[in-house]
Structure 1
Amino acid sequence: MQAINYNEMTGLNLSIRSATASTLQESIERLSSGSRINSARDDAAGQAISNRMRASVNADHVVSRGLDDAISMAQTADGSLSTVSELLIRAKSLAIQAGNGTLSEGDRQSIHNEYQSILENIQSISEGTEIFGRYPLATDTPELPPELIGNVPPLSVKFPAQGVNYTFSSGIVSLAYIPAGSKNIAITIDSLGLDDDIQLFTRDGKHLAGTPINGTTADYTWKSRSITSSAKATSKVLTEANGFQHGATYDDTMLIEGGASWALNGSETLAYNGMTISYSGDGDRYEPGKAFNDGSNGSNRLERLKIDNVTEDLVVMVVGSGSFTSNLTWGDLPEPTLTPAEPPKQSRPWEVVTSASYGDEVQATTMPTTPSDVKSLGLTNTELRSTATASIAMGALDKALDKVSSYRAQYGAFINRFESNKSVLAQQRIATQAAKSRIEDADYAMEASKLVKAQILQQGQDAVLKVANQSMENILSLLRS
């Protein structure tokens, strides 16, 4: 039998002791943490699977909270819509009552006043229903105020429709400004007999088209407004309120007054800053004899100003002392709007995540807008002051009630759908957590058994090592003797 020397026995014992200590430490770690996998070395594949499951469980939890928020929003909107429905039903009753021809004017006015109060209440509810900083019943197309230069609005405000005649008063107050970017602009005015003349200016005071202020044949319309010199034009016409820049100075060096003969589509043309401007001329200045420039138009009451491509904001003024009609056509007409400091209340679609499990594409549904303001419900300008308007209001109220009912049905369907999604996620989360637990949780019975075994082995190894140390001491003692 081969003998084992002391060093070999000691090295072997220490190796076994190290393995036992490692097993003991592993069991203690698992029992104290409750987890079988405390690092990648415990079970690399199991840890990867467990992490994916944990990601799915956490995602389901967050998705469930988002569904709760969506349900709360739908319930809030539906509650407000319920009130709007009641108000519309009351409004319909009032419309039917107003349609009765036996009512006196005073009674009908009282009914109309209550009807207007109902519309104001509906508008207030649509703008006041708020949750999570959102306004589900507000308009989805808020009207932004036009951007003014001074007190002057863009052309689109004065001419909302192409080719339609609108009536205005003439004077030395700007009619509108033509915003840069406009194309193929044609403004036509009818002075209705008394002379009114169209004028075109740059914002720094250049008079590009119209009738003259200076000279021996200065136009009657300017003189009638006491504008008889460049200085007076600068002080009284080129004001910031009229849309001109601060420090603007009158300049008529490029003024086109009209050609040799009057022509509605342009008797004289000016090229300026990339624009081609044509002007028909003032009919009053083409009349013979004493009728020339006398402040009264004969056969040519019309004037027209045309611009092909507007490269800078231009100011339009119609000078005179009466009223005129005007229409506008365009190829492209920007509508400059002013963004208010506080964003307008507006309903927007709301995307709700319904599933986001690990490795799968995110599933989401969009809750569309449900604008319930007076304009969106089609009730703007409805009234009950006569049987005819009451009849129109009845039809509008029926459509509005149908729209509100469809909104409520939509919200009800979303609530049911989201509740169902929550139930599915809860079951999925429980199943995933159970599977994750089976992979990563420690088996307490097995780990306790391993702990006891490792402790017994370690104690036995300690005893053997102690005996070995005593034998060595005895040999050294004999040698010393």
Structure 2
Amino acid sequence: MNAARINSNPAYDRAISDFSRVDRSGRAHSQRLASGMRVNGGKDDGAHLSVSEGMRAELGGLTEGTRNTEKAMDLLRIAEGGMNEISSILLRMRELATQGTTDTLNDTNREAMDAEFNQLKEYIDRIAKLASYDDQSLLSGFGNDVDEVLSTALDANGDTGVRRVNVSGTDSGTYTFVDTGNDNEITLGNGTVTQTVSLGSILDGDQVADGTTVVVNFDSLGVEMVLAGNDVKGSLGTYQDGDLDGTTLVVSDGTGGQFQLGSDAVSADRLEYDIKDMTIGAPVLNLSGISVNTRDGSRQSLAKLDKAIDRVASQRGEVGAIMNRLEFTLNFTERAIEGVTASESTIRDTNYALESTSLARTQILAQMSQAAMVNSQVPVQTVMSLIA
């Protein structure tokens, strides 16, 4: 016969322990059902949490890679569109050169044709300068950049106040500043093209105002620079009228660019590309000295135009090949995203059928534990009745 005790009640203590354990399990199942995730923290499944976080990082990289790929295709479409217009102009120039080779025209007629011919040459340069993506010129000096070591005008190489220089469609070479004091003007040139910019409206006297910066744009050269005043964070010097006289900017030839197409910082996830310079004097066209104002000049122009047309067509083919490659890359990346998403879901997402069943089980067990707590009070009630 079991003794009746009141100082301790093992059955009641065991019922409380069971209820607490079941209640904790029920809260975990409820959390999984509410969040939709089986793994909500490290205590749920540390190993699978680590795997899942790695997959999420990969998924984020792949998603951004698809955006990069789509933007890369947009960039190349703009470049190819500009080349298409240049090709059309070259065909028209070839028609004029063909007309100029026949003796049914005299030199006066050819001079009239040469006027249109020269206009077309200028328009090719204009297209090459205007074809841009995100303020990057694509068909003129693509990838060209300022040499920070050789450029004496930069703030890092002297107390000049030139905080930053941006170039777009800028020809490679050395650009020299003419900046005589007390005239609030800066001149920049490369020996072929020169541009003077007035600073009178943006300077405070003869210098940049303290704590501010100003932008000086040499748009004819494709050069934009930021001049800093005193106490500008990140700037070593302060610009004062005359400080840049005799200093230089060295623009080096670019080697193209890179598209980041994947999720990792490895060469396999990058695509290097280059877009050739399509200006009249660049090696691809090489048409700067041609004209159709004479019969012999027309014949020489015809031969050069044929080569230029072939080279432009070749460049368009290369750009098209890169676009096709990007199309395949985009398809592959989308499939990879689908696979990684499914894998991450398998590891981390809630199995609603299992969790719902488990929650129902814990609720039943909780009710049984409560009943056990009530029944465990019977010996105490018995003792109390004996005392009474």
Q: TM-score, normalised by structure 1?
A: 0.57
Match of 1:378 in 2: 286
Return closer, same or farther for 1:4/1:16 CA change in 2, 3 Å cut-off. Answer: farther
The 8 Å contact of residues 347 and 371 in structure 1, kept in 2 or not, is answered as no
The 8 Å contact of residues 12 and 372 in structure 2, kept in 1 or not, is answered as no
Q: Deviation string for 1:125-178 (max 9, x for gaps)? A: 10111122221111353455544476xx9xx969xxxxxxxxxxxxxxxxxxxx
Is 2:368 aligned against 1:460? yes
Q: Deviation string for 1:317-351 (max 9, x for gaps)? A: xxxxxxxxxxxxxxxxxxx77549xx99x976120
Question: Residue type of the partner of 1:349?
Answer: G
Match of 2:256 in 1: 349
1:4 and 1:441 map into 2 onto residues whose CA distance is: 51
SS of 1:456's equivalent? helix
2:326 to 408, 413, 418: 418
Match of 1:436 in 2: 344
The 8 Å contact of residues 97 and 302 in structure 2, kept in 1 or not, is answered as yes
1:10 and 1:399 map into 2 onto residues whose CA distance is: 98
Return closer, same or farther for 1:49/1:157 CA change in 2, 3 Å cut-off. Answer: closer
Question: Residue type of the partner of 1:352?
Answer: F
The 8 Å contact of residues 145 and 338 in structure 1, kept in 2 or not, is answered as yes
Which structure: greater helix fraction? Answer: 2
Return closer, same or farther for 1:143/1:374 CA change in 2, 3 Å cut-off. Answer: farther
The 8 Å contact of residues 81 and 404 in structure 1, kept in 2 or not, is answered as yes
1:84 to 83, 86, 94: 86
Return closer, same or farther for 1:361/1:138 CA change in 2, 3 Å cut-off. Answer: closer
Cα deviation for residue 476 of structure 1 reads: 3.5
Cα deviation for residue 100 of structure 1 reads: 1.9
SS of 1:381's equivalent? coil
The 8 Å contact of residues 259 and 270 in structure 2, kept in 1 or not, is answered as yes
Higher mean alpha-carbon deviation, 105-114 vs 380-389, is at 380-389
Return closer, same or farther for 1:354/1:32 CA change in 2, 3 Å cut-off. Answer: same
The 8 Å contact of residues 57 and 429 in structure 1, kept in 2 or not, is answered as yes
Structure 2 unaligned runs (5+)? Answer: 143-170, 181-186, 193-241
Return closer, same or farther for 1:145/1:96 CA change in 2, 3 Å cut-off. Answer: farther
Cα deviation for residue 16 of structure 1 reads: 1.0
Is 2:297 aligned against 1:389? yes
1:369 to 275, 295, 298: 275
SS of 1:38's equivalent? coil
How many residue pairs match? The answer is 298
1:375 and 1:4 map into 2 onto residues whose CA distance is: 109
1:338 and 1:21 map into 2 onto residues whose CA distance is: 76
Cα deviation for residue 375 of structure 1 reads: 1.1
Question: Residue type of the partner of 1:23?
Answer: S
Return closer, same or farther for 1:419/1:455 CA change in 2, 3 Å cut-off. Answer: same
1:81 and 1:347 map into 2 onto residues whose CA distance is: 19
SS of 1:355's equivalent? coil
Is 2:57 aligned against 1:55? yes
Return closer, same or farther for 1:62/1:157 CA change in 2, 3 Å cut-off. Answer: closer
Match of 1:116 in 2: 118
The 8 Å contact of residues 356 and 362 in structure 1, kept in 2 or not, is answered as no
Higher mean alpha-carbon deviation, 430-439 vs 469-478, is at 469-478
Note the 1:70-219 alignment, pairs <5 A. 70-140=72-142, 141-142=171-172, 145-148=175-178
Q: Deviation string for 1:239-258 (max 9, x for gaps)? A: xxxxxxx9xxxxxxxxxxxx
SS of 2:9's equivalent? helix
2:317 to 400, 409, 414: 409
Structure 1 unaligned runs (5+)? Answer: 159-245, 247-312, 314-335
SS of 2:272's equivalent? strand
1:149 and 1:23 map into 2 onto residues whose CA distance is: 78
Return closer, same or farther for 1:4/1:418 CA change in 2, 3 Å cut-off. Answer: farther
Seq. identity, %: 23
1:473 and 1:416 map into 2 onto residues whose CA distance is: 86
SS of 1:46's equivalent? helix
Question: Residue type of the partner of 1:437?
Answer: S
The 8 Å contact of residues 12 and 377 in structure 2, kept in 1 or not, is answered as no
1:110 and 1:60 map into 2 onto residues whose CA distance is: 57
Return closer, same or farther for 1:123/1:38 CA change in 2, 3 Å cut-off. Answer: same
Is 2:23 aligned against 1:21? yes
Q: Deviation string for 1:189-233 (max 9, x for gaps)? A: xxxxxxxxxxxxxxxxxxxxxxxxxxxxxxxxxxxxxxxxxxxxx
Q: TM-score, normalised by structure 2?
A: 0.69
The 8 Å contact of residues 134 and 347 in structure 1, kept in 2 or not, is answered as no
SS of 1:35's equivalent? coil
Question: Residue type of the partner of 2:274?
Answer: P
Question: Residue type of the partner of 1:120?
Answer: E
Q: Deviation string for 1:247-271 (max 9, x for gaps)? A: xxxxxxxxxxxxxxxxxxxxxxxxx
Cα deviation for residue 108 of structure 1 reads: 0.8
2:309 and 2:337 map into 1 onto residues whose CA distance is: 42
1:142 and 1:337 map into 2 onto residues whose CA distance is: 16
Cα deviation for residue 475 of structure 1 reads: 3.1
2:48 to 46, 49, 63: 46
SS of 2:376's equivalent? helix
Match of 1:190 in 2: none
SS of 2:270's equivalent? strand
The 8 Å contact of residues 97 and 301 in structure 2, kept in 1 or not, is answered as yes
Cα deviation for residue 389 of structure 1 reads: 1.8
Cα deviation for residue 464 of structure 1 reads: 2.0
1:401 and 1:384 map into 2 onto residues whose CA distance is: 17
Once superposed, what is the RMSD of the aligned Cα atoms?
3.1
The 8 Å contact of residues 347 and 370 in structure 1, kept in 2 or not, is answered as no
1:337 and 1:365 map into 2 onto residues whose CA distance is: 37
The 8 Å contact of residues 111 and 384 in structure 1, kept in 2 or not, is answered as yes
